[in-house]
Structure formats: structure tokens, C-alpha cells
Amino acid sequence: MSVFDGLKYRKVSSPIHDLDPRIKFFYVCAIFVGAILFWTILPLLILFAIQIPFVLLAGVKREWLRSLRGTIFLAAIIFLTNLIVRYFASGGALLVTDLEFAAAMTLRFIVLVGSFSVFFLTTSPDHLGLALERTRMPYEFSFAFTTAVRFVPVLAEEAQTIMDAQKARGLELEKGNFLKRIRNYIPVLVPLIVSAIRRSLELAEAMESRAWGATKKRTNLYILRLKQGDFILFVITIVILMVTVYVRIYIDVPGLSQFLSGVS
Amino acid sequence: MVIIETKNLSYTYPGGTKPSLNDVSIKIKAGEFALITGSSGSRKTTICRCFNGLIPHFYKGELEGEIRVADKDTTKHPTFEMAKEVGLVFQNPENQLFALSIEKDVAFGLENLGVPREKMRQRVDWALKLAGIYDLRERSPHEISGGQQQRVAIAAVLAMQPKIIVLDEPTSFLDPLSAKKIFEVIHDLNRKLGITVVLVEHRLDLTAKYADHIIIMDKGRVCQDGNPRTILGAESTRLIGVGIPKATLLFQMLAKDGLKLGSVVPLSSDEIAQSLLEAIKPHD
Amino acid sequence: MIEVQDVGFTYPSGVEALRGVAFTVNNGEFIAIMGQNGAGKTTLVKHFNGLLKPSIGRVLVDGIETKKTSVASLAKKVGFVFQNPDHQLFSETVEEEIAFALKNFGFEEETIKKRVTWALSFLELKKYRKTSPFMLSGGERKRVALASVLAWNPEILILDEPTIGQDYKQKEKLRQFILQMQTQEKTIVIVTHDVEFVAECNPRVLLMTEGRIVADGQGKNILANPEVLAKSSVVPPQVVQIFSRLNELELPKNVIDLYEAKDLLLKKLEKRLR
Ligand SMILES: Nc1ncnc2c1ncn2[C@@H]1O[C@H](COP(=O)(O)OP(=O)(O)O)[C@@H](O)[C@H]1O
Ligand SMILES: Nc1ncnc2c1ncn2[C@@H]1O[C@H](COP(=O)(O)OP(=O)(O)O)[C@@H](O)[C@H]1O
Ligand SMILES: [Mg+2]
Ligand SMILES: [Mg+2]
């Protein structure tokens, strides 16, 4: 579950947390594009390094590292698959370029996870919902999103309570063969579903009672207003985008093997 | 002035065979603190749903008879219009908060009504302060206690500045101290702002002393309706199985054994203690 | 017998829910664990059937350490009825719901039938034998949940917040039920913050605050002690509130029962009024 821990928003305030989610998302996309454009290690390393001051400024170093640690397993798989595919494709020989390619693919994955992790770690679901609203998506959509986020911990707690209640009646979830084990979950799932249905009815009733659907022109307590920091990030992002595209098109980035041959 | 009035109101839930409400005729005056009680399943929640038009608009079903709330026929006005007149607070605090921060939740109704942002901010802060949760405004509903959640729900309807607040067993999930705080908030709203309060409660020990008017329901009918002291002091009420306040019971028991403590039926421990002290004074 | 020996418990989230809790529940005792929401009452009783294992210290049920055995085997001895019946009802009929635990514990077909019938009649649910539990009213669902636990005849019965959301009549029924269980010498532990209910039953009371036990004794002595109650944010029962305002009458301090209160007042006032 550590990958998800790495995506969990925690309320703190920092210059990064205060940034407009739309600009932050633009920044994440720029990193994403950059990561996809390159197949060699050096630019990917730079893209990775760019995120570090961002993470430090946001004060989410521990959570960010945890989310990266959570990707180790997947990263290892990516590395090995790439290596194996290369090995067979080249007819049983491995060159430094093959190693570099596998490493670059892995690093690309880590860069992507890292940037998304920074985004989710520093953006409150409320802001995210607000940003969704601003995209002219129907309000119902962003409402559903924030409500879902609101009820995730509640449902998790409820599932735990139900499991405890059934265990207290002698239910052993881990007993029996595969099929039996799935059946064991029925006494947990039925109350969970019944309760979720009841809950959603109660929620609907409460929403109606608070004038849901009164007017098409809904207003909002919060607004997203671009501040100085947002412009700075915007400029940084544009620069990153331009530099990556420029380098990709006009500069032949040396690969690891070229470095090595240059040295020797 | 009568603010809630039903005349021979009967209601059957969709698919139901027997009516859930049967010939209910009640009158609640503006500014009153009305208490509705009765055993569980006596359709207290059902009558509350009629007050803001959830019945018949949300629940459908068959509604007969007349109902007027704040001079509006609820069958002709959708719930979102009634919401400006009547605020409903439900039993389970958890299932009436949807937003990720408390102030956003309190703003929800105003956002739906399209209230401009400046005005919304003012009303949200005003409601948060009245409910005593202004300091919690940026927390998430998951981080606060059930009692605080219920106060958020109260602030949320309060922000819409309704004339009437209806609370359906708002404290049944709370411990007595949190419950007491909720009742104090409600009592203040009634006394200081003149908001009409309709409170559905079993805990008469804690609430009877606030009430101007009590309605006891049984199987979808009104079986007692009137002044709390008269009704709770009557022998017949005890037999229905309503939880009469201990103070009132003690008063009745003493009377039965020949110790009359005056003609005013006490509803709280303060009141009976007062009468007991007065009873001994002249003889000292 | 349940022995709780210097138990501390910390949830994985880091919340320290129990600190240095120590006491013994004797066989046949009736105990009410009280304290405000979040005091750690549920956390404590979940240790009795092994749903939670202490981080520090030990819990022994009839001499067996809970850490060394499974919930399933402890549950046979310690029945646990959760606060909300909707968290456990899932069967198509009331009958199956009650048989569920009996099947889990491996009772024989014949015994299961007998126990189900017994539990249905004990809790006055016979006419609902073939009804879906979801069709029943709240009070009835609560009884089904109770029946489904009583069915296997556990020696110790734990009820978490049994009075929450219950009306006066339902509470009175519950009280009768507890008295009946007591005559059968069952050990009963209820978790509650309902002072009036506890005042009517007068069990041994354990008062909790912030994961600690701050008072342990007969209901009479604890519920009539406003200083102790205030520490754990419990509102005293009405009778105590009334008596505390009658200082000049010099009434005894440990009265929580209404009838006792009436008799005392009559005696005092007759003298004064004469
Ligand atoms: N949504 C519904 N659909 C059908 N019947 C309902 C619904 N809600 C409540 N009822 C019926 O109303 C009865 C309980 O009424 P309710 O108003 O909830 O009582 P109270 O609030 O006094 O406990 C139940 O017996 C049930 O049959
Ligand atoms: N599953 C859980 N995970 C983390 N903390 C919990 C969990 N359950 C309860 N707690 C915390 O432990 C403390 C005691 O809770 P609980 O035993 O439920 O109290 P009570 O039953 O007295 O209301 C509270 O602070 C609560 O927030
Ligand atoms: Mg109800
Ligand atoms: Mg609890």
C-alpha cells in the first residue's frame, strides 16, 4: 500500500501547496512530455533532479521518498523485462546500450511516478475538485469526486468493523481453498453494500434538504485565483518544455556508451 | 402566527399498503420550541420529511390532506425552495456532510442557491460562530468528533437562514455531554434568534425543560399534543411508554404518597430541587 | 474470568487508545464500561475476544492468553454484539442469520436446529423465522443480532452501546434481558455512555478517560460522585443532580435509584413538614 500512501494528501501549508492546481498539473504534464521524449539516461536524470527542489520546498520529502520506494518492485520488473526483450532481440548478446536503454525506461517510469506523487501530495482534493469544476465539466462530476474522497476513510473503517463483527461470530476469512475463501467474504460484502446503499440514500436526502439543484448558476465559496507563485511556476514550466523540445530536436544527447568510449 | 400546519395529513410510502401517517393534524407556532417524541417506528422521521417537501417530492408516494409550512404548500414547492424556509438536520451526522472541509460544507446550501461569494463568506462565518465551530472551519469532517459533526450539520442549515429548523434525533449517536451542548446551541437559536425549532427526541430528561409544546406520536397518529407540563405530568402519558424525565416522575411519585409540591409540574432536576427547597422553607 | 494485566494498545495510525489498563472481570459479574466517545471503550472490549491484541501487557480469558489463540476459539467463550446490527446481518432469513455462527463453530445439524429455535423464542422472534432480516425494524434487527450471538451460549457476553438510538420501551426490554442473563450466571459487559440506563441497573462501573481507567466500583458510588464523573465528561444521573442541589437536607450521597430517592425524601420531608 506504500504507493498509495505516497499519493495521500496531508494538510500542511507550503508555497507549493498554495499553488494553483491547474498550473501544477501543467508542470506535471511538462515533465511527463519531457520524460517521454528521451531514451537516454542523462536528460532523464536531469528531469528527475528538477523535481527535488520542488519536493524540498513542499516539505513532503518523507512521503515522496516513500512513494518512490513503493515503486521499486515495479521498477525492477520494467528493468528486467526490457533487458530480456533486448537480449533476445539482439540474438543473445547484451551491449552497454541495452543496459542503458533498460535503465532509461526504468528511470522514465520513476520520473513519472515522482512527478505525479508531488502533485497529489501537495494538492488538496478540494482544490482538485475546484479545478475540475473550472474545466467546464458538469458540477455533478467534481461533486462526485470530492464526495468519493470524503467517504474513502469512512468506508474503510466500516469494512474493518464489519470484518470484526463477523470474526466475532466465528468467521475465518483465511480458511479453506481458493473458492471457499472468496465465499468467506460474502458476510462482509453484503453488509458493506447494504450500508453503502443506505448511506447514499441518506446523503441524497441531505443534499435535497440543502437546496441541491436550486439554480444552474451555482456559486463557490472558494475561487482559484492565479498568484505570483503560479506565474513563476508557469514560466519555469514553459522553459522546461522549450528546453526539452529544443534539446530533443537539435542536440544529439550522448548516450552512456559514447561517454564510456570517450573516456577510454 | 402558525408556521407549520397540517390538516388530516395521511401518507403512504410508494409500494406500501397501509398509510404511514394517519390523519395527522398539528399546529406549530412561529418562535416555538416544539418537541416531537414517541416510540421508535412511530413515524417521527416520516413527519419531518413532510415539513420540507422531501415527502412527496423526493419520496413520491401518496400524500393526502393539507400541509402548509411558512405559508407555502409544500406539495407545490420543490424541496430546494422549501430549504430556504426549513432546515433539516438528520440523525446520522456522518451522512450529511459531503465536502472535504467544514466551511465548504456549511457553504454547500448557499452555493446551490447561487448566493454571491462575499455574502456567502459572511453567512458561513456567522453560522460557524453560532454553532461554536468557527475554529474548526478548515478541518475535514473525518477529523472531528460526532458531536462536532452534528454542529456542522446545524451550521449548514443555519447558513441558509431558515425560519424553522427541524432536527430528527440529532443526538442519538452522541454521548450525553455532547448531546447537552447540541441542545444548548438549539435552545440559543430559538431564544436569541427566534427561530422555530422542531426537535425529535427520546431524551426528554435533557430536553423537556426547553419545550413550549410537545407532540407524542404513536403508529403514525398524534396521540398527545399540547403543553409539556400538562402532558408529561399526566398518568396516561407514562402508560404510553414515553421516557418521562426523572424529575417529573419523582414529583408524581411523591404526590402519590401524599407529598404535593405545588401545582407546577417540574421538568428538570433544577425545577424539582427548587420546589423541594421551597416546600421546607416556611416551616424552618 | 477475564484478566487485563497492564494493557497498553496503540493503533497502527499511532493513536494510543489504551494506557496501563488493569482489572479483572469475575465470572457472573455485570460490568458497565463508561466514558465519553473516543475514551477507548470499544478498543478495550475488542481485546476480550482477541479482535485486538495488546501492544503491551496481557489479556487472559479463563487463564488463556489472547495472543496465543485465535479469535474464532475465543469467540466461542466470549460473545460480542456490535453496536450497529447492520454491520453483521447478511443472510436471507433470520433463521440462517442465527445459524451462521453455529455453523462456523462446527456444531452438529441437530444442535444447530435446537439452538436456533431456542434463540428465536428467547428474543421473541419466532414469527420472523423465515423473514429477511432487512425487512425488520431497527429494534427487531438489534434483537436478531443479539439472538445470533446468544445462540451459541457464550459464557461471557459483551454488548457495545446497546442503548444507542433505542427508545424507552426498548431500553426497558434490554434491562429485563440483562437481568435474566444474570440469573443464568452469565458474565455481562456493556459499553455505554447512557448514565440513566446504568443508574437503573446499578452494575459495577469502570470509568474511562483517554485510554485509562479512572474509577472502578459499584455504580452507586461512582455515578454519585460528581468530581470523578466530571473528569471523564460524564453527566451525572438526574437523581444525583437533584440530590446535589439539596445539600441542606443532608441526604445520603450515594443514591442513584429513583425509588430510593423518593423514600428518602418522604422520610426527610415528613419530619420537616411536621
Ligand atoms: N423510505 C421508506 N419506504 C417505505 N417505508 C418506509 C420508508 N421509511 C420509513 N418507512 C416506514 O416507516 C416506518 C418507520 O417510520 P419512521 O418515520 O422512520 O419512524 P421513527 O422515526 O419514529 O422511528 C417503518 O416501519 C417503515 O415501514
Ligand atoms: N481502527 C482505528 N484506527 C485508528 N484509531 C482508532 C481506530 N479505532 C479507534 N481509534 C481511536 O482510538 C480511540 C478510542 O476509540 P474507541 O475505542 O472507539 O472509543 P470509544 O468506544 O470509547 O468511543 C479514539 O481516539 C479513536 O479515534
Ligand atoms: Mg426516526
Ligand atoms: Mg465505541
Which segment of B7-16, B38-47, B239-248, C175-184 scores lowest on mean pLDDT?
B239-248
Confidence class for position A60, pLDDT limits 50, 70, 90: confident
List pLDDT tens digits, range A83-112: 888 888 877 777 777 888 888 889 999 999
Q: How far apart are CA A47 and CA A172, in angstroms?
A: 49
pLDDT at residue A2, rounded to an integer: 40
From chain A, the residues in CB contact with B137 under 8 A are none
Residue B254 has pLDDT above 50, yes or no: yes
**Average pLDDT of the residues in A158-183:** 91
Label residue A1 by pLDDT band (50, 70, 90): very low
Instruction: Examine the pLDDT at A6 and tell me if it is beyond 70.
Output: no
pLDDT tens sequence across A207-216: 999 999 998 8
Say if strands C204-209 and C212-218 run parallel, antiparallel, or are unpaired: antiparallel
Taking 70 as the threshold, does the pLDDT of residue A263 lie above it?
A: no
What mean pLDDT value characterizes chain A? 85
Give the model confidence (pLDDT) of B51-74 as tens digits.
Answer: 999 999 999 999 999 999 999 999
Q: Is B40 in contact with C170 (Cβ distance < 8 A)?
A: yes
Convert the pLDDT of each residue in B129-153 to its tens digit. Answer: 999 999 999 888 888 999 999 999 9
> Cα separation of C95 and C147, whole Å?
10
pLDDT value, residue B242: 85
Please state which of the ranges A9-23, C82-96, C137-151, C246-260 shows the lowest mean pLDDT: A9-23
Q: Is the pLDDT of residue C50 over 80?
A: yes
Cell numbers 468557527 correspond to what residue? B134
- Tell me the average pLDDT across B34-60: 94
The architecture (CATH level 2) of B1-85+162-241 comes to 3-Layer(aba) Sandwich (3.40)
Spatial separation of the C-alpha atoms in residues C212 and C229, rounded to whole Å: 14
For residue C70, the chain A residues in CB contact (below 8 A) are: 172
Cα nearest neighbour of C195 on chain B? B176
Tell which wins on pLDDT, C106 or A263. C106
Q: How far is A4 from chain B (nearest CA, A)?
A: 19
Nearest CA in chain A to B98: A147
Sign of CA dihedral C187, C228, B135, B180: positive
Grid cell, residue C83, equals 453496536
Q: In one letter, which amino acid is C161?
A: E
Q: Which residue of A has its CA nearest to B165?
A: A209
More confident residue, A174 or C10: C10
Contact between B3 and B82 (Cβ < 8 Å): no
| Residues from A in contact with C at Cβ < 8 Å | 158, 161-162, 164-172, 186-187, 190-191, 194-195, 198
SS3 assignment, position B4: strand
Domain boundaries, chain B: 1-85+162-241, 97-159, 245-284
Minimum CA distance residue for ligand 1 atom 13: B41
Q: How many CB atoms lie within 10 A of CB B265?
A: 24
Position B95 confidence tier, pLDDT thresholds 50, 70, 90: very high
Q: What is the pLDDT of residue B243?
A: 86
Cα separation of A237 and A251, whole Å? 20
What secondary structure letter does DSSP report for B136? G
Q: How many other β-carbons are positioned within 10 Å of the β-carbon of residue B157?
A: 27
pLDDT in tens, A18-47: 888 889 989 988 998 888 888 888 888 888
Ligand 1 binding pocket includes B43 (Cβ within 6 Å): yes
Q: Mean pLDDT over all residues of chain B? A: 93
Strands of B62-69's sheet in order across: B21-29, B2-12, B62-69, B72-73
Nearest partner of B145 among B196, B93, B190, judged by Cα: B93
Residue B23 CA, chain-centre distance (Å), reads 21
**Which residues of chain C neighbour A166 with C-beta distances below 8 Å?**
88
Tell me the C-alpha distance between A152 and A17, whole Å.
22
pLDDT at residue number A5: 52
Q: Report residue C233 as a C-alpha cell.
A: 465528561
Integer CA distances (angstroms), C98 to A164, B151, C83, in order: 17, 39, 17
Q: What is the Å distance from ligand 4's center to B146 Cα?
A: 12
pLDDT attached to residue C274: 55
> Omega before B162 cis (within 30°)?
no
Residues 6+ apart with CB under 8 A from A133: A139, A142, A220
pLDDT in tens, C52-91: 999 999 999 999 999 999 999 999 999 999 999 999 999 9
The band of B282, judged by pLDDT with boundaries at 50, 70 and 90, is low
How many cross-chain Cβ pairs, B to C, lie less than 8 Å apart? 112
User: Of B146, B257, B273, which has the smallest distance from its Cβ to C266's Cβ?
Assistant: B257
Question: Rounded mean pLDDT of B190-194?
Answer: 95
pLDDT at B284 over 60: no
Chain A nearest-CA distance from C205, in A, is 24
For C34, the 3-state DSSP assignment is strand
Per-residue cell: C144: 436478531
Q: Which three cell numbers stand for residue C69?
A: 489463540
Mean pLDDT of B180-194: 94
ipTM, interface predicted TM-score of the complex: 0.92
> Which residue in A169, A171, A193 has the most chain C C-beta atoms within 10 A of its own C-beta, making it the best mutation to test that interface?
A169
CB B101 within 8 A of CB B137: yes
* Helical residues (DSSP H) of chain B, grouped into ranges: 44-51, 79-82, 102-113, 117-130, 146-158, 176-193, 204-207, 228-233, 235-240, 246-256, 269-280
Cβ–Cβ under 8 Å, residues B202 and B169: yes
Give the Cβ contact number of residue A98 at 10 Å.
18
CA of B43 to the centre of ligand 3 (A): 7
- Residue A7 pLDDT greater than 90, yes or no: no
Q: What is the whole-number distance in angstroms between the Cα of residue B41 and the centre of ligand 1?
A: 6
Residue type for B262, please? G
How far apart are the CA of C128 and the nearest CA of chain B, in angstroms? 17
Name the residue of chain B whose CA is nearest to A150's CA.
B100
Lowest mean pLDDT among A134-143, C42-51, C184-193: A134-143
- pLDDT category at B43 given cuts 50, 70, 90 is very high
Q: Is the pLDDT assigned to residue B42 strictly greater than 70? A: yes
Residue whose C-alpha cell reads 548516450 in the numeric block: A255
